[in-house]
Chains A and B, each alone.
Chain A
Amino acid sequence: MQSLGVISINIWQALISLANLVILFFVMKKFLFKPVRKVLEQRQAHVDGVYAQADEARAKAEADRDAWNARMQGAREEADRILSAAAENARLTGDAMIGEAKNRAQGILQEAEDEAEQTRRVAAQDIRREMAGLSAELAEKLLGREINEADHRQLIDSFLNELEEQHDTNQ
């Protein structure tokens, strides 16, 4: 079997070799680069999708959180308002009750005082009448004569009035 020279070039060999490289280029393109690029693109698209979803979810979560915070804030203010209103209400009710109780106590005291005054007056009149009778009797016995009872009563009354006036001015 013959061999070519070490340094030799054959035009057909070169052309076939050129064609070989072209064929291998298409093989690489079709069987290696095309499928791998397709898969890489799919993966990229998937990853982009996942990222977009994550961003969306985070934005939604943040919006929810803000909304909840706002609602919580509102609820807290509402609770404060209700509490302070209730306290005010209780204070007003208590004041009213205390005022009423005071009035009633005042009334009871007044009544008691009036009654006491009345009693004292009645007692004073009784005492006066008693004293007039006594003194007339006493004077009758002393003088031994009948004195006009009407005159006598008048005299004693004037005397007692004098006494009372004296007593009032002394006080």
Chain B
Amino acid sequence: MTEKKRPSRAVDVLLILMMVLPLITAVVLNVLTAPAKEGIVIEGARVYYSANPDADLSQVFSTDFILTDAQINSWLVMISITGLCLFLTHGLQEHAVTVRQHIAEWIVEKVEGLVRANMGDFHVQSFSAFVCAVLGLSVFSSLMSLLGVFAPTSDLSVVGGWALLVFLVITGYKACCGPRIYVRTFTSDGAVVAALNVIGEVATPISMAFRHYGNVMSGAVIAVLVSAFLQWLSSVLLGWLPGVLGEIPFLQVGLPAILSVYFDLFSGALQAYIFSMLTMLYVSGGFPLEEYIKRHSHAEKSSVLAA
């Protein structure tokens, strides 16, 4: 117990590289492939690869296999998060000596506390990791915009995929006591309400996806608009300066950074929190806990009798 082992340095360096390299890769990739923008350009994810090059990519719904920078950035973020997890849990020991272990324990305990507060003790063991994954992926994806690259969360498909998964989880939990109980949650209040219930059920993932996507995307849009406006303003006010000086948009220094604190940091974290919060509330709200416990204890009882 008195022996206080430090985690090995070589592994640490590798793990830190695993965290940092994907982010650098994202920036480099963005710089290499970004077209020169003129004026106000607001567009979605750039397509790196398309299985059907002739397809019209501007349509709202497409089924062709494509690979966009949103997807690539999403994978890079995942690698980075994995590296972070490995780094934080590297060299864990019972007698905590490292800051990173305290951080790892803090994260676990906070997420478990959040799940416990919103869903009850029953779900803490099984659901905490999922909530942590949603939070982590969402926050770090939104924060990618701080690096100047396309944030995966401002792509509707990415957030839509998460919302679809949440919908599946909600439905899975709702239906865990058999289809009879699941159907009853819709039809218990009559036919008209049943129709509304079904619409509400389908609306859940759509609203979650659009809420998250819309908030992050609107931040990006406002950033572009403000940036363009400041460029215009500085060309009007400072255009009389001789030579190259007149072309430098001085007014773009400062204000976009302050806006970025809100739209990238605060809004990104807030939307991640809201998304995971809604996930927890929908799942725990839809889960028939009493019925489940009744059946579970019944099953236990019968197994005891059988034994």
A binding-site residues for B, Cβ under 8 Å: 1-25, 27-29, 31-33, 35-40, 42-43, 46
Contact = CB atoms under 8 A, between A and B. Distances in A.
Given A4-B45, A5-B57, A32 B132 contact: yes
A1 B46 contact: yes
Contact of A5 (B60, B65, B85, B137): B60
Interface of B: 33, 35, 42-48, 50, 57-66, 68, 70-71, 74-75, 78, 81-82, 85-86, 88-89, 92-96, 101, 104-105, 107-108, 128-130, 132-134, 136-137, 152, 155-162, 164-165, 217
Nearest to B44: A4
Contacts of B63: 10-12
B132 A33 contact: yes
B165 A39 contact: no
Given A3-B46, A12-B66, A31-B89, 4 more contacts: A2-B47, A5-B59, A8-B61, A40-B105
A32 B129 contact: yes
Contacts of A9: 60-62, 156-157, 160
A42 B94 contact: yes
Contacts of A8: 44, 57-62, 156-157
A7 B156 CA distance: 7
Taking each of B70, B75, B157, B217, which has the highest tally of chain A beta carbons within 10 Å of its own beta carbon?
Answer: B157
A17 B88 CA distance: 25
B177 to A, nearest CB: 23
Contacts of B78: 20, 23-24, 27
A10 B157 contact: yes
Given A13-B161, A32-B129, A4 B137 contact: no
A14 to B, nearest CB: 4
A17 B47 contact: no
Nearest to B126: A29
List 6 tightest A-B contacts by C-beta distance, closest first.
Answer: A17-B161, A13-B157, A4-B44, A29-B129, A14-B161, A18-B161
Contacts of A12: 63-66
A24 B47 contact: no
Contacts of B96: 39
A28 B126 CA distance: 12
Nearest to B82: A27
5 contacts: A2-B57, A4-B45, A27-B78, A33-B108, A35-B89
B221 to A, nearest CB: 8
Contacts of A10: 61-64, 66, 68, 157
B92 A11 contact: no
Contact of B160 (A1, A17, A35, A36): A17
Nearest to B42: A6
